[in-house]
Every structure is written in structure tokens, then in C-alpha cells.
Chains A and B, each alone.
Chain A
Amino acid sequence: MKINIKRDSVVCYEVEAKNQTLLEALNEIKLTQDGSLAYNSGCRSSVCGSCAVRVNGREVLACSYHVQDGDFVEPLNNTPVIRDLVVDMDKAYGFNAKAKAYQSSVSNTVLLSHEDEKLNEVQSDCILCASCYSACPVYAVNSEFLGPFSLTRVWRYVSDKREPNKKEKIDTVQTNGVWDCTLCNACTLVCPQGISSKADIEKLRARSVMFGYMDPSFFNFGGGLSF
């Protein structure tokens, strides 16, 4: 079968692939046809987040996507391409620090129940593959938007009983954060771990309101109507 890979130009490769993952097909190309093809991979079992690419316009992990005849493979969107399918993830990773997506201090005394565990069980499965940044239409136009995985990570800590300073977490995500999201749900649809950043952002909004914040677009709307 044929697969097309976007490099400097689009290159068509013939692979023997029968029920292969895209990663296996890429490895076959590298082994037998073209050692210069650049892509990243790691665990082969969809937990390391190294091999996210786009196939036919949709974000997938190469190690868990079964390749089809005629597939068109591209690097992730909204991220500088270093070479072929390799993108520079430094900026996306950097949002975790900006959003303070960590527990603000060490907590030695808090006991968690089985129910507490369930509050952020799925969110803590995130593998930082950045599929969500690639799919996010807000990040595409606002490169300072904290973005889906960072905001999910903030919710993961805000929802955790061990976080002693929830207000500080909420304060940090007001600008270029929870209110900038359009709730379009594109991030949810491409997440290989079944995480919905959109839903997490909604929860962060609700929590923001509890801490006295309001959707700034209300003000803008009001401002627009005033004479």
C-alpha cells in the first residue's frame, strides 16, 4: 500500500503493511527505503506521548493507528516543525510551568479516599503528546493561550485534596486561560487517553466563579453596547 508523508515536499512510500501500525510502517520505511526520514517514537504502547502526528488531518499516535492505503501523514499543527514529522515541543511543555500545573507545596497530612482518587484519575493519565494543542483552534490564533493539556493539569491539582492553595491555581489561569477557550471540544475528540480538556476547563470556570471571577466576555459585551 501507499502512504504519503509530508516532508519538505510530500513523498509517497510503498510499504508492505498488513494490519500494521503507522509506527511499524515508518520503521519499515526507515529500515528498508530511506534512513533520513525523521520521526519520534518511544514506548510503542501509547503511554510515552512521543509519536503524535496527523493522519488525514486528524491527530493520532503513530503507535496506535492502523495504517490505511493512501494515508496522508503530517507533523502536528500549531508547533514549529524541526524536520519531517518532528516538532519542537518546548513551547507546549512550557505552558505547564506558566500555568503552575503542579501542587503548590508538599502535603504530608491529607488522606485521600477512593472517591477522591476518582476525581482526577483520568486527568492524571495525560501523556503530554500535544495532540490537543495541534487540534486547538484558539491556540492556533493565540499563541499565548495556556492550552488544553496545561489546563487539564491545573484541574488535576485543583481537584486534589492535597493542593493547599487552590485560589492561587485559579488566579493563574484567568489570563490566556479558562475564559479564552471556545468549548469547541476539538481537544477531547483527539485525545488518545480519553481526557476532555474542554470539560476540565468548564470545571475550572465553575471554580473560578466560586472564587469571585467572572467571564470577561460579559464585560466586553457590556462595553460594546454602552454609548
Chain B
Amino acid sequence: MKSVIIIGAGGAGLVAALSAKESGAKVTVITKEYPTRSQTCMAQGGINAVLSEDGGDSIELHVQNTLKSAAGLADESAVRYMCQEAPRAVAWLDSIGVCFSRTNESKIAQRKLGGAYAPRACYAQDYTGLKILHTLYDRCLAEGIEILNERYLLEFLTCKDAQEKTSVCGVSVLNKRSGEVQTYEAQSVIVATGGYSRIYHNYSTNSSSSTGDGIATALRAGAKASDLEFVQFHPTALKNSSILISESARGAGGYILNSKGERFVNELLPRDEVSKAIDAEISKGEDIFLDIRHLGSEFIEKELPQEAKLAKLYENIDPACELIPIKPAAHYTMGGIDVDENSSTCIAGLYAVGECANHRVHGANRLGGNSLLELVVFGRQAGKNAAEHAKSSDKSLDLQERKIVLQEQITEIKEYTNEINFYEKQKFLGDLFYKNVGIKMDKTALQNVLNEVQEMKNILPKMGLDDKTKIYNTNLIEFLEFKNMLDLAELIIISAINRQESRGAHFRVDFPTADDEKFKSHSIIDKNGAICYEDKYQKR
């Protein structure tokens, strides 16, 4: 049987796996951790869908809210498709057993998130992502889908046909447990590896696994990435740990206050605007707080139990009677592997979905509640298309040869001199990015960081490993992740320098307004940093 391999076992990967299986393919999911440990489990707020138009909400309003938040950079047809599919996506999740919160009328409960006209985010207390992810995993077990744990992606293996068209024919991974390179043949491969917010290191709300591996690897294989400069900062991360306090806290009526106890921004504006307002206050020397005291301890206990627990654990405060110290932190990367309306990259058989992909539905700023939606809607599409492609493909190649080359590369890395501690460089990169490639940017600062990043790439052979062993070498895996992040860091900065305007999450102090004439279009970049802009109305 023709096989589809999915790299990544988060929400996007598992939805794609179920869909590919349903379409008749042999499916294998490969993950660097275990399923259920991915970033998806951290999504709290909800999944957007207009389930009823009775309260004045409509699919059209969902489309318009999404487009407005995207600041002119989303593709309307893709957004429309996603919003139209949303009720079906939620009904499907309900049908496989997701424990959504319910109303007294036995309907799926919905709440209002920033930038939304009406309560539209279907939720499961504040564990929405966790409960969706675990139910998807259970469904994969029910369908007998093979999941291979603890294998780290090395390369997408490609071959060229007589017309010089590149196709994917498999993947290579490093088995973390054995330390051996392994290869798997597949007619289609779906990348579902998540975003790259961990470049911001201590200033990211994300799991330590959100290192952009799939994007960097797809670029190396010849795919393109787009809109990499758009990184969303969530306004309410805990001040010390960058751990996320969900938007549901503001949705429920939470205030954002400065040191004087004053509100200074409409809390329900989209995330980019709230983050910018907070950043401006911090620049004036203010400390910033989230205030949910007035919601009452009973409400907090019932609707926001996770927020209460996290505030207690990491800031040692009780949000029912104390202010929660916050700061904005890197949360979601809108850019990613460039895909067409079929979730396909420019490499035949290579698909991408979820945060690692750019389906052009979030544009310059994602709406809360649209990322879980995106991964279900496009996960189903990617799985189906990948299965169809696999049926018609007959590509194969000598995997043994590729294996030897990769094994040699690992051996070479182990011979790096390790004069410089790469963990310190990684932390330094995060600090540089938060200060200079963060909520506000300017050309000089961006150029300086670019120089630093390029220098870091040059001295990689002076970094390297403390640990040269084979079995479960996390030092090696983290070094490979750092290499991927450096590759992406360079491309992000090049994209940010080139976009000489401000739009959504991309705020250039030296170009403070939008320039529709030149830049109301997606930036497309390849592994060498060659960048072009594509008219968003042009047919891809």
C-alpha cells in the first residue's frame, strides 16, 4: 500500500493522520516526543466556529473579523473556506468525543475572544487544546494508526524526475533512543511540526519543542517559506516565566492595568494592538498587571481554573485577590512553509499544515481561536490530498546511500570543538530577538542582529557538544534544534528588514504606517534568503 508519513503528532498531525487513513492510505506518524505532548495541549481559549446565527453572529462576520485582524494580508478565499468549514470541524470534534463545555441548553459553550464580534470560541474550560489533542490521539488508537515516538526529523528525502521536478520520497530521522539514523520511504509526507517561537527563548509562551524544525528542514529540501516576519506577541504572559495566561481571562472581562492602577487599552482589541500598548507603557517604566479580581473566586474556579493554578504556581499570587504581573511574549508564528490551496508545498508530495505552514489565513496577526480551527480544517484537507497523491506516485530511491551521508554529518557535529557553549548563545539569541525583532523594530537594530546571527552560524564548529554519546543524547538534539533556529532567525530578519512598513504584528518604528502600494502582499523566501513579494490577488 502507498504510504503517507506525518512528521509531528500535535493537533495538525493527528487530524491529518486520521484524514489520510480515511482516504485509504497507510499512515505512519513520527514525533520527536510522544503524541499529546505537543504545543496544541497548551491552547486554552477555544476554537472559533459560528454554530448558530441566532445571536447576530454569522460566518460572514467570522470572515470579516479574521480579515480585519490580518491587516490586509490574509487570502480571503482561504479565510472563507476555513470559516465555512468551522461548524463542521467542531461537529466532527464533538462526534469523536471531545469534552467541550456545554450550556444549560445542551449546546457547546462559546466565549468571546479578542477581535471577535460575538462569543464564537467553543471551549472546554480552559483546557480546550489539551482535550482536543487527547481525543484526537484516542481516535488514532481506535483507527490503529502507527505512531513512532522519539524520532527527530533530519531531512526530507527528495528525488528528481526526468523533467527535473522535485518529489519527496521519504524522510530521515535520528532515533533518539538508539542514536541511529533511520530512513522511511513514503509517497507523501506531511509536515506538522509546529512554529518557531522558541527562537525568543525565555520570552516565549511556547513549549521548548517549538523550534521550527519542519520549516528549516523543508527549506533545505527546496520548499519556500512565507511571511516569516510576522510573529504574534501574546499580551498576557506571566512576567517571570513567560507562561501564558489565556485570552479567556480578558474575554471574561479581565482588565489590564499599569502601576498606577489605570486601564490604558481596550483589552478586547486584537493581540498585536494590546501588546503594542503594553510595550509602550513598559517603555515608560510602568509595570503591567492583569486584574481578574472583580470576576470573583467562584467564577475563576469554574471558568479559569488553569489560569488560577498557573498564577499561584509561577508568580505565587492568588488572582482572586491579587493582581497578576504580566508582559507580552512571543506566542504564535503566522509565517511558515508556503503552501497552496491544497496544503501542498512546491515539492511534489510534500504537504504542510498547522503552525509550521502558512495557509494565509492569519495574515499579519492571528485571531485568538483560529489556530485550533486552522489545524482541524486544513489538517483534514492535507491528509486527504496527501493520500490521493500517494496513490498516484511511484517515486522511490536508494535510502541507504542517504543514510550514510546523514550519519557522517552527525559524526562531524560530534567532532566540533565545543569551545563555546551553544546554550549561552541560544539564550543570547532569544534576548536579542525580544529586544530587536520583537514588538517594535527598526532597520539598524535588525541589521545588527542579522550580523550577530550570521556570526553565530559561522562559529557553529566552535560550538558543539558536551556529550558525544549515542543513547538519548539530548545535547545533540538541542544542538540540531539550535541550528534550525539559527537558519530561520536569519530568514526572519531578512524578511523583517525588507518589509519597510508596519502591518499587524510587524511594527517598524522607522516605517510606522502600512504601505499597501508596495507591501500588501506575502513575502516569499527561500533557504538562501532570496525574497520576493507576491500580489495577494495573483493566482498561486
The list of the 10 closest CB pairs from A to B, nearest first, reads A35-B466, A36-B467, A102-B138, A83-B472, A103-B97, A102-B142, A124-B99, A31-B423, A35-B475, A48-B37
- Check if B96 is an interface residue, CB within 8 A of chain A: yes
> Are A114 and B124 within 8 A (Cβ)?
no
Contacts A103-B96, A113-B102 aside, 10 further interface pairs with beta carbons under 8 A come to A30-B423, A35-B475, A36-B469, A38-B472, A42-B207, A45-B244, A48-B41, A64-B313, A88-B177, A111-B107
- Check if A127 is an interface residue, CB within 8 A of chain B: yes
Query: Can you list 7 pairs linking A and B with CB atoms under 8 Å apart?
Result: A44-B208, A44-B241, A49-B36, A96-B141, A116-B102, A124-B131, A125-B127
- Check if B95 is an interface residue, CB within 8 A of chain A: yes
> Are B475 and A36 within 8 A (Cβ)?
yes
Residue of B nearest to A30 (CB): B423
Say whether, besides A35-B466, A127-B41, A128-B36, A42 and B208 are in contact (CB < 8 Å): yes
Name the one of A43, A45, A102, A108 contacting B141, with C-beta atoms under 8 angstroms. A102
A78-115 interface code vs B (CB 8 A; 1 in, 0 out): 00001110101110010011001111101110011110
Name the one of B41, B138, B208 contacting A103, with C-beta atoms under 8 angstroms. B138
Closest chain A CB from B176 CB (angstroms): 8
Residue of A nearest to B42 (CB): A43
Name the one of B99, B142, B241, B474 contacting A121, with C-beta atoms under 8 angstroms. B99
Q: In the complex, what residues of B have CB within 8 A of residue A44's CB?
A: 207-208, 241, 243
> Are B37 and A42 within 8 A (Cβ)?
yes
> Are A127 and B36 within 8 A (Cβ)?
yes
> Are B207 and A102 within 8 A (Cβ)?
no
Q: In the complex, what residues of B have CB within 8 A of residue A30's CB?
A: 423, 475
- Check if A47 is an interface residue, CB within 8 A of chain B: yes
> Are B427 and A124 within 8 A (Cβ)?
no
- Check if A58 is an interface residue, CB within 8 A of chain B: no
A31-75 interface code vs B (CB 8 A; 1 in, 0 out): 100111111111111111110000000000000100000000000
- Check if A157 is an interface residue, CB within 8 A of chain B: yes
Q: In the complex, what residues of B have CB within 8 A of residue A37's CB?
A: 474
Closest chain A CB from B306 CB (angstroms): 8
- Check if A153 is an interface residue, CB within 8 A of chain B: yes
> Are B37 and A50 within 8 A (Cβ)?
yes
Give CA–CA (A124, B137) in the complex, Å. 12
Closest chain A CB from B151 CB (angstroms): 12
Give CA–CA (A103, B465) in the complex, Å. 45
Say whether, besides A41-B208, A50-B33, A31 and B472 are in contact (CB < 8 Å): no
> Are A107 and B42 within 8 A (Cβ)?
no
Q: In the complex, what residues of A have CB within 8 A of residue B310's CB?
A: 45-46
B positions within 8 Å CB-CB of A: 33-34, 36-39, 41-42, 91, 94-97, 99-104, 106-107, 124-125, 127, 130-131, 134-135, 138-139, 141-142, 149, 177, 207-209, 241, 243-244, 306, 309-310, 313-314, 316, 421, 423-424, 427, 465-467, 469, 471-475
Q: In the complex, what residues of B have CB within 8 A of residue A82's CB?
A: 177, 471-472
> Are A35 and B423 within 8 A (Cβ)?
yes
Give CA–CA (A36, B130) in the complex, Å. 31
Residue in B124, B130, B467, B475 with the greatest tally of chain A CB atoms within 10 Å: B130
Closest chain B CB from A52 CB (angstroms): 11
> Are B97 and A157 within 8 A (Cβ)?
yes
Name the one of A93, A107, A113, A127 contacting B106, with C-beta atoms under 8 angstroms. A113
Q: In the complex, what residues of B have CB within 8 A of residue A160's CB?
A: 97, 99
| Residues 105-159 of A contacting B (Cβ, < 8 Å) | 106-108, 111-114, 116-117, 120-121, 124-128, 153, 156-157
> Are B37 and A31 within 8 A (Cβ)?
no
- Check if A162 is an interface residue, CB within 8 A of chain B: yes
Q: In the complex, what residues of A have CB within 8 A of residue B149's CB?
A: 89-90, 93
> Are A102 and B208 within 8 A (Cβ)?
no
> Are B42 and A48 within 8 A (Cβ)?
yes
A positions within 8 Å CB-CB of B: 19, 30-31, 34-50, 64, 82-84, 86, 88-90, 93, 96-97, 100-104, 106-108, 111-114, 116-117, 120-121, 124-128, 153, 156-157, 160, 162-163
Name the one of B124, B141, B473 contacting A97, with C-beta atoms under 8 angstroms. B141
Residue of B nearest to A160 (CB): B97
Give CA–CA (A41, B107) in the complex, Å. 36
Residue of B nearest to A103 (CB): B97
Give CA–CA (A128, B131) in the complex, Å. 12
Say whether, besides A93-B34, A124-B124, A47 and B41 are in contact (CB < 8 Å): yes
Say whether, besides A48-B42, A82-B471, A106-B96, A96 and B138 are in contact (CB < 8 Å): yes
Give CA–CA (A162, B135) in the complex, Å. 13
Residue of B nearest to A23 (CB): B208
Give CA–CA (A82, B150) in the complex, Å. 12
Q: In the complex, what residues of B have CB within 8 A of residue A47's CB?
A: 41-42, 127, 130, 306
Residue of A nearest to B100 (CB): A117
Closest chain A CB from B24 CB (angstroms): 17
Give CA–CA (A114, B37) in the complex, Å. 28
> Are B125 and A40 within 8 A (Cβ)?
no
> Are A125 and B130 within 8 A (Cβ)?
yes
Q: In the complex, what residues of B have CB within 8 A of residue A90's CB?
A: 149
Give CA–CA (A121, B302) in the complex, Å. 11
Closest chain A CB from B140 CB (angstroms): 9
Residue of B nearest to A125 (CB): B127
Give CA–CA (A43, B37) in the complex, Å. 8
Name the one of A43, A88, A108 contacting B95, with C-beta atoms under 8 angstroms. A108
> Are A31 and B421 within 8 A (Cβ)?
yes
Give CA–CA (A43, B149) in the complex, Å. 18
Say whether, besides A45-B310, A113-B102, A114-B102, A31 and B427 are in contact (CB < 8 Å): yes
Give CA–CA (A109, B494) in the complex, Å. 51
Residue in B106, B149, B309, B474 with the greatest tally of chain A CB atoms within 10 Å: B474
Residue in A39, A97, A116, A124 with the greatest tally of chain B CB atoms within 10 Å: A124
Q: In the complex, what residues of A have CB within 8 A of residue B469's CB?
A: 36
Q: In the complex, what residues of A have CB within 8 A of residue B95's CB?
A: 106-108, 162
Name the one of B38, B91, B466 contacting A34, with C-beta atoms under 8 angstroms. B466
Give CA–CA (A163, B138) in the complex, Å. 13
Give CA–CA (A81, B101) in the complex, Å. 38
Q: In the complex, what residues of A have CB within 8 A of residue B99's CB?
A: 117, 120-121, 124, 156, 160
Give CA–CA (A226, B357) in the complex, Å. 69
Give CA–CA (A212, B205) in the complex, Å. 50
Residue of A nearest to B125 (CB): A121
Give CA–CA (A83, B477) in the complex, Å. 14
